[in-house]
Amino acid sequence: MAEIFVLAEHRQGQLRDITFEMLTKARELAEKTNAELTTVLLGKNVKESAKNLTEYAKKVIVVEDEKLGSFNSDAYLKVLSTLIKEHKPALTIIGHTSYGVELAPRLAAAIGIPLATDCIDVAFEGDALAVTRQMYGGKVNAKAILRKSESYMVTLRQAAFQAQKPTAPMNGQILEVPSPLTEEITTKRFIEYVLPPPGGVDITAAEVLVGIGRGIKDQANLPLVEELAKSLGGVLACSRPIVDKGWLPSDRQVGTSGKTVKPKLYVALGISGAFQHVLGMKNSDLIIAVNKDPKAPIFSFSDYGVVEDLFKVVPPLKNKINELKSQKA
């Protein structure tokens, strides 16, 4: 019976959301192809997580080793290539996360199996594997076929699939496998986690956020949007380029590499809506987006859209809100 591998991702004792998203998609694939769903958990003292995973897979392969105490792609690579060579899974699924991005391409090349990264959909078509992935910053979708192989590998985009529990727990069997790591990993060594310096503002606690992106053009324009945020009783948040440019501190960044927010109101100004940003704000109660490009992806995630230069809309908007507030006061 064919097998599908899902690499469980965890950090600091916590299984990460992507693990359950992958398991959900993998379960669907396993049902369709009559394959067995196996999740692979590498780490140190991960018994608790392993037990948790039995609900989601038929088999939980656990490899425990001191050397797997924190993520090390070289250690992971050695263990996984041993497991994959032995089990020959039809498909190995890894998260398209910082860990997965570091591990999967090198692992696939080392074993010699084809890989498709950052997939938003995966399907077997006979013995071929078809994937859907995005190109050009999400403006185009591509359907691609992987080179014929007995074993495939994919990385799945975060939040592309909604995690769901199986209708009934799968009562998976835990299979403890001795670590194949005989020697110390000397190529790279984990030192520590680094938290961004705490800033003055916690955007995850704000009820109103005004998010700015590339469309803001210049640091000199920040006061304008800052005033709007103030009028609305909110604070400024931003997409990645603004932090890259050093215009706002990194604790204002919304998205996969920043914070996930869920305010009552999110006003997106000059944000195109790359998935990395959208993932961090799409669950806001009300989203209003202003962008010059009518085809900007942000409009697919917004309740209201304005196709206009933000610098034309923001001043009258700010004035009207202030007028209203002064009338009430």
Partner 1 sequence: MDVIVCVKQVPETAEAELKIDASGKKIEKTGLVFDINEWDDYALEEAVRIKEKFGGTVTAITVGPEDSDSTLRKCLARGADKAIRLTDPKFEGSDAFATAKILHSVIKTMHFDLILTGAQAGDDGSAVVGPVLAELLGVPHAAMVKKIELGEGKAVVNRELEGGLEERLEVKLPALFAVQTGINEPRYVSIMGIRKAMQKEIKVMRLSDTGLNESEVGESGSWLKIEKLYVPPVEKQAEFLQGSPDEIATKIVEILKSRGLI
Partner 2 sequence: MPSKDGEIKMDFKLTEEQMEIKRAAREFAEKEFTPELALEYDQREEFPTELYRKAAKLGFTSMRIPQQYDGQGYGVLEECIVVEEFCRVDPGLGVAVSLGNLMVPDVLLKHGTDEQKEKYIPPLARGEKIAAAAFTEPEHGSDITRMDSTAVKNGDEWIINGSKQFITNAPIADTFIILCQTDPNATPPHRGQSLFLAEKGMPGLEATKLHGKMGIKPCVTGSLAMSDLHVSAKNLVGELNKGFYYALELFDGTRITVAAQAVGMAQGAFEKALNYAKTRKQFGQPVFNFQAVSFKLAEMAIKIETARLLTYKAAWTYDREKPNAVATSMAKAYASRVAMEVTDDAIQIFGGYGYLADYHVERFHRCAKITEIYEGTSEIQKLTIANFLAK
Question: Residues in the site for partner 2, rule: CB under 8 A?
Answer: 217-218, 220-221, 309, 311-312
Can residue 143 be called a binding residue for partner 1 (CB under 8 A)? yes
Calpha distance 204→262 (Å, rounded): 7
Query: Which of residues 141, 206, 211, 248 is near partner 1 by CB under 8 A?
Result: 141
Calpha distance 234→182 (Å, rounded): 55
- Tokens matching residue 294: 């009518």
Total residues binding partner 1 (CB under 8 A): 100
**Between 74 and 226, CB nearer to partner 1:** 74
Burial letters 254-266, b for 16+ CB under 10 A, else e: bbbebbbbebebb
The upper half-sphere exposure of residue 103, i.e. CA atoms within 13 Å in the direction of its Cβ, equals 26
Calpha distance 187→184 (Å, rounded): 9
Q: Smallest gap, in angstroms, from Cβ of residue 212 to partner 2? A: 13
- Tokens matching residue 95: 């998260």
Q: Smallest gap, in angstroms, from Cβ of residue 133 to partner 1? A: 7
Can residue 217 be called a binding residue for partner 1 (CB under 8 A)? no
Calpha distance 159→239 (Å, rounded): 17
Cα–Cα nearest to 239, from 219, 197, 211 = 211
**Between 19 and 172, CB nearer to partner 1:** 19
**Between 37 and 159, CB nearer to partner 1:** 159
Residues in region 45-104 near partner 1 by CB under 8 A: 70-71, 73-74, 96-99, 101-104
Distance of alpha carbon 262 from the chain centroid: 16
Can residue 174 be called a binding residue for partner 1 (CB under 8 A)? no
Calpha distance 219→321 (Å, rounded): 24
Q: Of the listed pieces 44-52, 85-93, 216-224, 296-304, which binds partner 1 according to CB under 8 A?
A: 296-304
Q: Of the listed pieces 43-51, 57-65, 125-133, 174-182, which binds partner 1 according to CB under 8 A?
A: 125-133
Q: Smallest gap, in angstroms, from Cβ of residue 220 to partner 2? A: 6
**Interaction partner, residue 220 (partner 2, partner 1, none; CB < 5-8 Å by kind):** partner 2
Query: Which of residues 316, 326, 327, 329 is near partner 1 by CB under 8 A?
Result: 316
Helix (H, G, I), strand (E, B) or coil at 128: strand
Cα–Cα–Cα angle for 52, 56, 61, nearest 5°?
Answer: 70
Q: Of the listed pieces 25-33, 50-58, 59-67, 108-116, which binds partner 1 according to CB under 8 A?
A: 108-116
